[in-house]
Amino acid sequence: MSETTQATLAGATGKAYEARAYAASSASSGLASTRIRRREPRPQDVRLEVLFCGVCHSDLHQVRNEWQNTMPTVYPCVPGHEIVGRVTKAGRDVRKLKEGDLAAVGCMVDSCRTCAACREGQEQFCDGPATFTYNSTDIHLGGVTYGGYSDSIVVDEAFVLRVSDRLEPAGAAPLLCAGITTYSPLRHWNVRKGQKVGVVGLGGLGHMAVKLAGAFGARVVVFTTSAGKAEDAMRLGAHDVVVSRNAAEMQKHLGSFDFILDTVSAVHDLNAYLELLKRDGTLTMVGAPEAPLPVGVFSLLFRRRRLAGSLIGGIRETQEMLDFCAEHGITSDVEVIPVQKINEAYDRLAKGDVKYRFVVDMASLK
Ligand code: NAP
Ligand code: ZN
Ligand code: ZN
């Protein structure tokens, strides 16, 4: 019996209520209004009224089934993993939150809690694997988990984050994925004052990387394919901007970077960026293009360069990032939209036409 079948049977008894949501029914259908089942909160669960949900490029990849070889999409698909909401119910065992609190949910809603990764607070690497906020097996109700393009969500308190009242809720929503996905590798590779750091791609993740690397004291250079974003890059805190299609501009930076974070969502040439690293420098991929990217190994051999990857961040680190952002006044630059504009927003996101994150105002779903 497959895991999903077992879960479906096990979940048949789960108590549920109906919630409103926006879902895609196929890779080409776009998203439309629907109703979904959510579990009734258990003693350890928190129910949030979703106030704002960011639109990540991963939502688009998943809805359009662009990752079909690694993470095929199960339809209907309710995306959304940058969720800020108000607690409307806290189960009797919930300790860290109470009704009325501002809270958040990111890319994960559960994990095994016992494997080495979980014990180290790196639930994103759970052997289980982790239960992602959408398109993961739902062990409670069967089928798959449904994300934040919805009026409410029910999550175990261990996977719910506290949000400071100092953070503006719409601008805070993208921190739950774009924020932590850039914060975590910058911290892991110890980006600090005196270092030269490159950010490739100025989109949702890229603009957060510029703000965060700047806050850690690094000298930040943005690589963009969009000459029109140069002024914004400087306003966001970059010290220099390179239009990556210009070979002469790229040449000026050969062998000079300590660390480069690549946030590009489409297939592109990595080798040009490897050449920009210093000896022992690291290029870390967070962007997740659907097809493999060829690597010329000589760029790695000479100067002992490293090519790495990073996936979101653990729950403890996500809370640390939210607290850091509250302390330093860092939020995302957002374009708030009603949910009815979601398909238009996806088309614009596919073209790189967003400054710098769409966030859905869920009040529009009522
Ligand atoms: P986004 O807002 O669309 O930004 C991506 C940027 O990449 C664009 O703004 C554009 O920047 C650049 N770009 C797009 N097409 C390009 C091309 N053909 N060649 C070169 N550059 C191109 O997307 P996002 O939400 O930041 O997400 C970026 C990627 O990270 C996606 O693949 C997403 O799935 C992935 N992701 C990974 C994780 C993780 O845990 N690793 C978490 C979240 C998202 P310019 O206009 O400046 O060139
Ligand atoms: Zn995301
Ligand atoms: Zn685990």
Ligand nearest to the CA of 313: 1
The pLDDT score that the predictor gives to residue 366 is: 86
The pLDDT score that the predictor gives to residue 162 is: 98
- Helices (H), ranges, the chain: 3-11, 57-63, 116-119, 169-172, 178-188, 204-215, 230-236, 247-251, 271-274, 298-301, 315-328, 342-350
How far is residue 206's CA from residue 98's CA, in Å, rounded to a whole number?
Answer: 34
CB 32 within 8 A of CB 8: no
Q: Could you give phi then psi for residue 19, rounded to 5 degrees? A: -125, 155
- Helices (H), ranges, 122-199: 169-172, 178-188
How far is residue 110's CA from residue 115's CA, in Å, rounded to a whole number?
Answer: 13
The pLDDT score that the predictor gives to residue 2 is: 35
Query: DSSP 3-state assignment of 215?
Result: helix
Measure 173 CA to ligand 1 centroid, in angstroms.
Answer: 18
The pLDDT score that the predictor gives to residue 168 is: 98
CB 338 within 8 A of CB 186: no
The pLDDT score that the predictor gives to residue 99 is: 98
What predicted TM-score, i.e. pTM, was given to this entire model?
0.96
Residue nearest to ligand 1 atom 38, measured at CA: 286
Q: What number of other Cβ atoms are within 10 A of residue 41's Cβ?
A: 21
Pocket of ligand 1 from Cβ distances under 6 Å: 56-58, 61, 177-178, 181, 201-206, 224-226, 229, 263-266, 268, 286-288, 310-312, 349, 352, 354
How far is residue 314's CA from residue 87's CA, in Å, rounded to a whole number?
Answer: 22
Measure 91 CA to ligand 1 centroid, in angstroms.
Answer: 38
For 85-112, what is each residue's pLDDT tens digit? 999 999 999 999 999 999 999 999 999 9
Report how far apart, in Å, the C-alpha atoms of 308 and of each of 203, 260, 263 are. 20, 10, 13
Residue nearest to ligand 1 atom 11, measured at CA: 201
Low-confidence stretches of the chain (pLDDT < 70) are: 1-13
The pLDDT score that the predictor gives to residue 127 is: 98
The pLDDT score that the predictor gives to residue 14 is: 76
Half-sphere CA count of 259, side-chain side, radius 13 A: 23
For 8-39, what is each residue's pLDDT tens digit? 434 445 799 999 999 999 999 999 999 999 99
Residue nearest to ligand 1 atom 25, measured at CA: 57
Measure 250 CA to ligand 1 centroid, in angstroms.
Answer: 20
Ligand nearest to the CA of 233: 1
Measure 203 CA to ligand 1 centroid, in angstroms.
Answer: 6
Measure 286 CA to ligand 1 centroid, in angstroms.
Answer: 9
Encoding tokens for residue 21? 């949501």
The pLDDT score that the predictor gives to residue 218 is: 98
